[in-house]
Structure 1
Amino acid sequence: MYGAFLKKGLGAQKARVASLGILLLGGALLQLGSPLVLRKYIDAAKLGGALDVLVWAALLFLALTAVRQIGQVAGTYLSEQVGWTATNRLRTELFLHALRLDLGWHKEKTAGEMMERVDGDVTAMANFFSRFVLKVAANVLLLLGMVAVLFTVDLRVGAAFLLFVCGALWLLNRIREIAVPHWVAARKVNAEFYGFLGERLAGLEEIKANGAGAYVMKRFFERMSVLLGKERTAYVRGRALWPATVGLFALGYVMVFALGSWLYEGGRITLGTFYLLFAYVELLRGPLDQITEEMQDFQKAAASVKRVGELMAVESRERDEGELTLPKGQLGVAFEAVEFGYGSEAVLQGVSFAVQPGRTLGVLGRTGSGKTTLTRLLLRLYEPNAGAVKVGGVDVRAVPLQELRGKIGMVTQDVRLFRGTVRDNVTLFDPEVPVEQIVDVLEELGLGAWLRSLPQGLDTLLEGSGGLSAGEAQLLSFARVFLRDPALVILDEASSRLDPATERLIEQAVRKLLAGRTAIVIAHRLSTVRMVDDVLVIEDGRVAEFGEREVLSHTEGSRLWHLEHAGMEEVLG
């Protein structure tokens, strides 16, 4: 899994990675060389060497140190660039993968949890991409280089250092394995906490209105307590690396002092070489400290790698394997013995009806009867358990998703406005739509005066609702559909009441939207029902009534007849 992520993140940055590798390798060689120069200096000074030799040795040491510092600065800059480029690429891929997952899967996740997955987990992997592999590799090379140099000094010194280094790396790796499961658990609880936070913030108005603040805060502290416990456990397990490192270096200094003293007293090594042994033990602290630090970060990254890998492994139940294209022009719609349910809950049972091309169908039914589910099946946000949904005579499962959704425009009750300009919100961030076309559509829908009142016109930034009324927001969503000019329109009429002037604008917009197109309207008002050609009444997931509106309206005893004669402006659900 780690190799796959590295290849994915670093594969497109081969030149940068190679440059970073050269910088780190060069830094390791310079670290090895500086103590060797000082050994030469000490031995020459002890033997009364020429002054120019001592001066050149000192200058060489200073030059190596300066070059190493410059290399470290360049390496840090390059590693951060590599890491964040790889991280952003992975974040984009993960976000795109999440968007392609079926709606049923998304319904099981909270917005906060998904934010933590896509952003939090990927951010925790930044160090894994930028430094971990290359730094660990460079430090391992440095350790091996020190061992190799010490083998040339004395075989026993080299062997002792090799055993010490191998033992240290084995111990650090064992401690890392102990901590990783706890970081996985901590990341999971962290994602759940963000999910809780996102839900409560989204429902803040209802929480305040119903006096539920105390309960929410109680749940907040409970979740914070769980998160604290998990992160503290993971942190304590991870920090076990620090006392292990301290103990290792104490053992290393004892080993060098004992072995170096014995060899120096026996005349087998010079004073400069004795210094070299101590210098390499001290130098050993740097690589081991860095490897320890990288291992601590890797514990967190490993948990995130696992969670990101699990998300990437999720397969959408929404198969996009169709190859057929929809016919041009107006499209008919047909449901043939469709069965569907959310989990074990049956929602639609044997639903069959057909809408001829160019006609408008009004769908009526109480809340929970299955009206919205019909539109979700049309867009293939869900798949029917049995039966078939056809558009233009073609089973929607046989049509590529992009082709299908490109021919269908939908206006929902809950209009989503994004942080962006008016143009971005109307075109859904499509820069190819001409400005003149956008202005014409807004004028046609009665939003011309509103547009002219904005300080920067189409370039005015909208924040949240953007100061728009519910009616204006609904008209903006109509504009989105007009610009796409789809063959089939789905309108889930807003159930909220609007002021009379806005109501008239909405009614006019609906008429224009439905003209010359096949349409399905989930109606909440009789005034809207009077615009449709056919009526479908859904009760408990079954077709209770279906037929031409004019016929049903004049058929005494029909459900539509009862609604109209009851004088109810607000119809079912």
Structure 2
Amino acid sequence: MPDAPSPSSSSPPRAGALGVLKTYLGPLKWQVIALATLLLTGTGLNLLLPQLLRRFVDNAKLGSGADVGLLARLAGLYIALAVGVQLLTAGATYVGARVGWTATNRLRADLMRHMLSLDMREHKERTPGEMIERIDGDVTALSNFFSQFAVRVFGAALLLLGAVVMFYLTDWRVGVGITLFVAVTLIAMNRVRKIGVEPTRLERESSAQLFGYVEERLSGLDDVRALGAGEHHLRGFLRVQREFFRRSTFSWRRRAVVWQLSMILFAAGYVGILGAAVGLYAAGAITLGTAFLLYQYMSMVEEPIDQLTQQLQDLQKAGAGLARVGELLALRSELTEGTRDLPDGPLDLRFEHVSFSYAPEDPGVRPVLHDISFHLPAGQTVGLLGRTGSGKTTLTRLVSRLYDPTEGSVKLGGVDTRDVRLHSLRTGVAVVTQDVQLFQASVRDNLSFFDDSVPDTEVEAALREVGLGRWLARLEDGVRTPLPTGSLSAGQAQLLAFARVLLRDPAVIILDEPSSRLDPATETQLTQAMTRLLAGRTAIVIAHRLETVARADRILVLGDGRVLEDGPRAALARDGHSHYAALLRAGTEELEEGVLA
């Protein structure tokens, strides 16, 4: 199947299958035209085959007076056309699958881009497993639908229409009866189709919950094992799995109603057409070949309706997938897109009366930050200290604009972050957390985030700059060496994260407790890399260990979401009454225990 193309610039599809078809099949119009040509030609040949068969039967009925040469020519032509129909059908299937998968790959890319554009509130409300199921599982259901929709539905509709016309050309009375039969069948199936949509939606929802449950338990597997909670989580898994199984079987039974109704109706239809053919033949109104032709065209009516029946079941799945995809596309980030770029060069950081709450609409939830104001000059580093829950990480999230302040403003280089284009802000502000995300890819891909335009020489220079030169020299294929997950120590992973930042060359760097889990020797190496990384850049360093901020220009101490202290590090260290001086006297241990006045 084709590779997923780059995210499209198309607007989100309108609700319903037709809206999605127009949005994602519209750009593929030439391939759709080619598909329609294959289907039309194949359908025309398919409708011609029973005519040849009628002539063959009527001539063969003559017995010894039959024209053997004509029979041979009819048989040869029938075989040739039958082979042609199969080739055209195979071509239509290939083109249809290519069109369908290309369209849904674009939809999957658009969904991924849309999900990444959402603010953190939406991501906090949904587990990664649930989001994966929405982007992959729901779209896969649509892929199956789109990749077969044109061939099975459009082709079936053409064949059905052609067969009904041939009935009229053969005998108008039979044509009227078949028309009524087809109308009743399609109306009945369309009505019963709707009963499967909601159960299928609940099935997809249950599948997402199952994925979310598994993802959460796997991510916390070490804790589950250490606490002996495996049996408890296994029971929970069985409970979620049981609910998924119950909803799946119930959904299948509802969707099967369409198929069961089709069988009953066509049993009656075949009885009717055979009765009509026998009656007309007995009355001398039609030949034996024509009677056989009526049966053949009835099978051509059954085949497309059977295809439509199967596709209606896929449409039920697609309808549920469309609803859930539509819910995701309907989500809107609360972070509005700005129009300005960050200024070039080092940037100063200013908080002006900033307050923030994760649930501002709920007055019962206390704000995390209260009236925060401070100024960090360009090119300086501030050490951010405070007990757990004091608001340190939240403050840095406002700088990188994962959230917007509830009140007040955050300014970089004199520009309110809400006025800055998100791409410019993400490029100019880099964040390194204590939990470094590594990928099962090469070293260079881990550092460049799969950007092929970054030269290997720049990647190598960044690794040497953070002190990983010897480690790089030991790699068999250099920066092209695969980096299996879990192959690095915590210190090496942090250094790789530093190298990532060096490649981006941002104006502002945020380090969130980079040395909290390191031994003293590794922390010394990390501190040296930090010194090189932060040189000439504006930086915020969150630390539990005072050694981590020993070279900071300023110190900002938070307590209960408020600024307890802000000033030059050297001056605060000399002031015996400052919080920072008290922490220096008490030592790192008390800071880690959260002892703050």
Quickly name the TM-score band, shorter chain normalised: over 0.9
Change (3 A) 1:337 1:52: same
Q: Secondary structure at the match of 2:473?
A: helix
C-alpha change, 1:150 and 1:568, in structure 2 (3 Å) is closer
**Any residues of structure 2 matched to 1:103-252 within 5 Å, and which?**
103-252=120-269
Matched, 1:481 2:540: no
2:548 to 528, 544, 547: 528
Distance 1:133 1:176, change over 3 A: farther
Distance of 2:310 and 2:150 partners within structure 1: 13
TM-score using structure 2 length: 0.93
Confirm or deny: 8 A CA contact 1:331 1:488 kept in the other structure: yes
**Residue 190 of structure 1, CA deviation:** 0.5
CA deviation after TM superposition for structure 1 residue 347, in Å: 0.5
1:540 maps to 560
Residue 417 (structure 1) aligned with residue 438 (structure 2):
yes
CA distance in 1, matches of 2:491, 2:30: 54
Task: Give matches, 1:270-285, under 5 Å.
Answer: 270-285=287-302
Shift of 1:563: 0.7
Alpha-carbon distance in 2 for matches of 1:56, 1:434 = 68
Alpha-carbon separation, structure 2, partners of 1:370 and 1:44:
93
3-state SS, counterpart of residue 530 of structure 2: helix
- Post-superposition CA distance 1:169-226 (Å, at most 9, x none): 1122112111111111100110111011100111111000001111101111111111
Instruction: Report how far residue 327 of structure 1 moved.
Output: 2.7
Is 2:514 the partner of 1:494?
Answer: yes
Q: Does 2:355 align with 1:335?
A: no
- Describe how 1:498-509 pairs up with structure 2 within 5 A: 498-509=518-529
Which AA in structure 2 matches 1:385?
Answer: T
Which range moved further: 250-259 or 445-454? 250-259
Corresponding residue of 1:85: 102
Instruction: Please tell me the residue identity of whatever aligns with 2:189.
Output: L
> Shift in Å at residue 3 of structure 1?
2.1
Shifted more, 65-74 versus 370-379: the winner is 65-74
Cα offset, 1:288, TM superposition: 1.8
Q: 1:494 touches 1:524 (CA, 8 Å); kept in 2?
A: no
Deviation at 1:46, TM superposition (A): 2.6
Tell me what 2:53 maps to.
38
Which residue identity lines up with residue 296 of structure 2 in the other structure?
A
**1:218 maps to amino acid:** R
Q: Which amino acid aligns with 2:218?
A: L
Does residue 325 (structure 1) correspond to residue 345 (structure 2)? The answer is no
Alpha-carbon distance, 1:570 to partner: 6.7
Aligned match of 1:29? 44
How many angstroms apart in 1 are the aligned matches of 2:149 and 2:501? 49
Which residue identity is paired with 1:35?
P
TM alignment of 1:337-376, pairs within 5 A: 337-343=353-359, 344=362, 345=365, 346-376=367-397
Residue 510 of structure 1, aligned match among 525, 530, 533: 530
Q: 2:319 aligns with which of 302, 310, 313?
A: 302
Letter in 2 for 1:197: V
Following TM superposition, by how much is the alpha carbon of 1:116 offset from its aligned partner in structure 2, in angstroms? 0.5
Amino acid at match of 1:365: G
Shift in Å, 1:242: 2.4
Q: 1:259: which partner in 2?
A: 276
Instruction: State the Cα RMSD in Å.
Output: 1.6
Residue 468 of structure 1 corresponds to which residue in structure 2? Answer: 488
Aligned to 2:6: none
| Structure 2 counterpart SS, 1:337 | strand
8 Å CA contact 2:93–2:151 kept in 1: the answer is no
**Alpha-carbon deviation of 1:52?**
2.0
Deviates more, 1:120-129 or 1:183-192: 120-129
Equivalent pairs counted in the alignment come to 571
The residue type equivalent to 2:114 in the other structure is H
Counterpart-to-counterpart distance in 2, 1:461 and 1:469: 16
Q: What is the rounded CA distance, in whole Å, between the counterparts of 1:88 and 1:148 in structure 2?
A: 38
Cα separation, partners in 2 of 1:502 and 1:296, compared to 1, 3 Å: same
- Do the aligned residues in 1 keep the contact of 2:465 with 2:532 (CA within 8 Å)? no
How far apart are the structure 1 equivalents of 2:238 and 2:274?
54
Runs (4+) of structure 1 exceeding 4 A deviation are none
CA distance in 1: counterparts of 2:85 and 2:472, whole angstroms? 60
Secondary structure of 2:368's partner?
strand
**Secondary structure of 2:198's aligned partner:** helix
Question: In the TM superposition, what is the alpha-carbon distance from 1:431 to its structure 2 partner?
Answer: 2.2
Shift of 1:50: 2.2
Structure 1 residue 134, shift from structure 2 partner: 4.2
Q: Kindly tell me: are residues 295 and 250 of structure 1, through their superposed partners in 2, closer, same or farther at Cα, counting changes over 3 Å?
A: same
Whole-angstrom distance in 1 between the partners of 2:458 and 2:150: 52
Q: CA deviation at 1:257?
A: 2.4
* Per-residue deviation, 1:495: 4.8
Q: Is the 8 A contact 1:527 1:569 kept in 2?
A: no
The DSSP-based 3-state class of the residue aligned with 1:342 is coil
The CA deviation string for residues 31-53 of structure 1, in whole angstroms up to 9 with x for no partner, is 21111111112222334442222
Distance 1:431 1:51 in 2: 69
Name structure 2 gaps, 5 residues minimum. Answer: 1-15
- 1:128 deviates by 2.2
CA offsets, 1:530-563, max 9 Å, x none? 2111111111111111112122212222211111
Q: 1:10 aligns with which of 8, 18, 25?
A: 25
State whether residues 318 and 382 of structure 1, in contact with CA within 8 Å, keep that contact through their aligned partners in structure 2. Answer: yes
The partner residue of 1:444 within 450, 460, 465 is 465
Letter in 1 for 2:447: V
Which deviates more from structure 2 when the two are superposed, residues 149-158 or residues 179-188? 149-158
Candidates 418, 421, 427, aligned match of 1:400: 421
Report how far residue 90 of structure 1 moved. Answer: 1.2
Please give the alpha-carbon distance, in whole angstroms, between the structure 2 residues aligned to 1:2 and 1:564. Answer: 65
TM-score after normalising by structure 1:
0.96
Which sits farther off after the overlay, 95-104 or 251-260?
251-260
Report how far residue 135 of structure 1 moved. 2.2
Corresponding residue of 1:381: 402
